[in-house]
Structure 1
């Protein structure tokens, strides 16, 4: 097939393009801007567009399909031409469903933890040489792509994102997958630019549970009130498997998990990650992996990319970087790090970077999120607030929202770096939480300063 990608440079889109090229399809694409690492990966495979921009002449009747990325707009010239020619146009999730409609679809949903749980499942399957198709939202150790497609594999494991499918399809992605086996990890209001009320956001997960194929299953976090409510009230005739945080203890900075064969040391830590592990175990068992084989594989799991990633470690200090930005994840990550290193001072640095986090009304959702930190530091760019067309937020508003009047608030990236570099890091844990880059902090310099 000849498949054309409109907005080929996205993290998910370029991985799908590479996976389809690997299958032998002819791939072309366009985009108006492409960042690293997508740019280098597309170039290495001969898929980087020669010129950036949108070119209607690339759209012709010889195309078998067009895949439309979320980065494009509804009036995109290439999209309009494809519509005019009556070509098959798929959103990213539509195409994945089309590919997997005759497979057993395993879909991992939830406001938080879905990338980690999907990563755990794929790690276990890879460890035991079980081949599956997959799509995950992060680059994993041992996996060269975030998307892998075949004709022969029986299972397709999909990370189920609740964000919108495409500029012309406003349904959340995970509504399109129709899972046979599903998991729901938790619900915490996010994406307020799309789901303006909590009730509206929760409704998307209700639709997800109702979309599970009849006779299928839902594995769900019974510790989450909203999840429990949705699963227990659904009229969909599906099997229900609740999970909760397993027993564990922390000793000398190491997490030990209770298993039927005794305590097992883990590379990961934090209550939220132990809960993720319990959910992943249920899914793997439904895919044919027995309990002890699951634990054997999980002993070697180091975590998903950008999820509690260790930046640098010294004898009496350690620094982590986490993708956390939603309030519930910020709270869970901060508590997890403090629990792992209770005797050390915890400096927790949060960047307010997303549309939701910079919204004055939504800020209240962060109340108490940094309570576990000894020192709370917040960075945000007033320029980002302007670009997103939001009302200006003040330092006082942020401190009040966090309920941390002692919080250090920075709006200048250099001042933020100077503050950090001036710290004495003896007996300290340093935690960065953001989906952004803190205005361009020099992490290499930080590593040097941190170990002094």
Structure 2
């Protein structure tokens, strides 16, 4: 890979800033701009000397000395830097397009689906890294043993990419996973989400069908055999494309410890738990089989996998109180994560709290998808911010509408963080309890550490 001069428009994005750092570490000249950059992107860019000197867009950043411009999804079509790049005839890529351009010569694996894709990708990265395989990657969360969420080199023969269904850029709103053009695609499951982009279930499902249809001859689709819609997509005849279904990996739980039941390695202890994670493990095992990693090698490596950041992440634990934080926000994720904690701790009081924070979760027409999803909890809590609704220019929602949607009359609803903090702290009792905090946000700045210390 020759040294390139690259400019990032919207460099502060989660993947964008990781890609910028990874490319600079490979010896490329990288600059970037953004109108607002939040933590942890800000500090990480600053440490690498990549934080823009001032916020905002400046057409002077764009010049004929650039080899390419990489455009983030959060920029607008009328961005002055983008307009200048187009005027000069520069190559403009979304980040999945750019990664593909640099990876055409590699074997490409994409992990897609409505849930589990970050964990499955993280397991693959962990297992391959454990066995010292040379590979590039893109993953949607920080995981132990990896400095960045992106690696892109000239010599790695393999690319493992988490592929989401969000649009690639303001210039091309097709799902990101289509741009990687994978040889192997895993689809973990389909549950309607992102209703602001895909207003109907059918339009959402169609994106995954396009991914399956894009596989080349000798390609493979790995899929959750328990998902009815995936059966329909995967069983469609595609010339010379291999179908590989997977199911829940056989397991047992003993004294709060989950063990994989295997034929080749006996019972194998793992640090993640829940039926949904047993599916994630089975999916990763199926992909590893296609990459030349044997079952024995997989089971040896999986024992030290601690999970991805904010995926059933243990915050604190003692004999009386255990706190988990999870990225779950979509209905299927909330249901699966709550069920996992209940199964792991059947005799503890379970306090499950979810933040409605995304366009989908705050959409009145979508709220009904949360029906019964918190039923496994002893105490069920929902937090949402009316200010977030205003910022997203969405209709106000009443607490009663949320209670009706979840179909749980005793549901506790909070709209300000201080009241939520007080309520959660009041739930501490002599009986052992588990707190499960599920959000893609921060509950308005909830002090999780104080909850743990209290």
Quickly name the TM-score band, shorter chain normalised: over 0.9
Instruction: Map residues 288-327 of structure 1 onto 2, 5 A cutoff.
Output: 288-327=292-331
Instruction: Map residues 341-380 of structure 1 onto 2, 5 A cutoff.
Output: 341-380=345-384
**Structure 1 contact 210–234 (Cα < 8 Å) conserved:** no
Instruction: Map residues 123-162 of structure 1 onto 2, 5 A cutoff.
Output: 123-162=126-165
In the alignment, the residues of structure 2 paired with residue 93 and residue 236 of structure 1 have an alpha-carbon distance, to the nearest angstrom, of 26
Counterpart position of 2:337: 333
Unaligned runs of at least 5 residues, structure 1:
none
1:422 deviates by: 1.6
Deviation track 1:140-175 (CA, whole Å, cap 9, x = no partner) reads 101000011111111000001110000111110001
Cα 1:408–1:236, aligned 2, differ >3 Å: closer, same or farther?
A: farther
Counterpart position of 1:430: 435
Q: Secondary structure at the match of 1:233?
A: coil
Counterpart position of 2:283: 279
In the alignment, the residues of structure 2 paired with residue 234 and residue 279 of structure 1 have an alpha-carbon distance, to the nearest angstrom, of 21
Q: Secondary structure at the match of 1:242?
A: strand
In the alignment, the residues of structure 1 paired with residue 341 and residue 135 of structure 2 have an alpha-carbon distance, to the nearest angstrom, of 33
Instruction: Map residues 166-205 of structure 1 onto 2, 5 A cutoff.
Output: 166-205=169-208
In the alignment, the residues of structure 2 paired with residue 40 and residue 371 of structure 1 have an alpha-carbon distance, to the nearest angstrom, of 40
In the alignment, the residues of structure 1 paired with residue 279 and residue 452 of structure 2 have an alpha-carbon distance, to the nearest angstrom, of 31
In the alignment, the residues of structure 2 paired with residue 421 and residue 318 of structure 1 have an alpha-carbon distance, to the nearest angstrom, of 13
Instruction: Map residues 5-404 of structure 1 onto 2, 5 A cutoff.
Output: 5-260=8-263, 261-404=265-408
Q: Secondary structure at the match of 1:372?
A: coil
| Residue of structure 2 aligned with 1:444, choices 428, 445, 449 | 449
In the alignment, the residues of structure 1 paired with residue 330 and residue 426 of structure 2 have an alpha-carbon distance, to the nearest angstrom, of 28
In the alignment, the residues of structure 2 paired with residue 197 and residue 234 of structure 1 have an alpha-carbon distance, to the nearest angstrom, of 25
Q: Secondary structure at the match of 1:66?
A: strand
TM-score normalised over the length of structure 2: 0.98
1:247 deviates by: 1.5
Aligned length, in residue pairs: 449
Unaligned runs of at least 5 residues, structure 2:
none
Cα 1:294–1:152, aligned 2, differ >3 Å: closer, same or farther?
A: same
Q: Secondary structure at the match of 1:100?
A: coil
In the alignment, the residues of structure 1 paired with residue 88 and residue 82 of structure 2 have an alpha-carbon distance, to the nearest angstrom, of 10
TM-score normalised over the length of structure 1: 0.98
More off after superposition, 236-245 vs 346-355: 236-245
1:413 deviates by: 0.9
In the alignment, the residues of structure 2 paired with residue 373 and residue 407 of structure 1 have an alpha-carbon distance, to the nearest angstrom, of 10
In the alignment, the residues of structure 1 paired with residue 26 and residue 239 of structure 2 have an alpha-carbon distance, to the nearest angstrom, of 36
1:317 deviates by: 2.6
In the alignment, the residues of structure 1 paired with residue 241 and residue 234 of structure 2 have an alpha-carbon distance, to the nearest angstrom, of 10
Q: Secondary structure at the match of 2:102?
A: helix
Q: Secondary structure at the match of 1:157?
A: strand
| Deviation beyond 3 Å, 4+ runs, structure 1 | none
1:251 deviates by: 1.4
1:424 deviates by: 2.1
1:437 deviates by: 0.4
In the alignment, the residues of structure 2 paired with residue 51 and residue 385 of structure 1 have an alpha-carbon distance, to the nearest angstrom, of 29
Aligned-pair Cα RMSD in Å: 0.9
Counterpart position of 2:422: 418
**Structure 2 contact 99–152 (Cα < 8 Å) conserved:** no
Q: Secondary structure at the match of 1:350?
A: strand
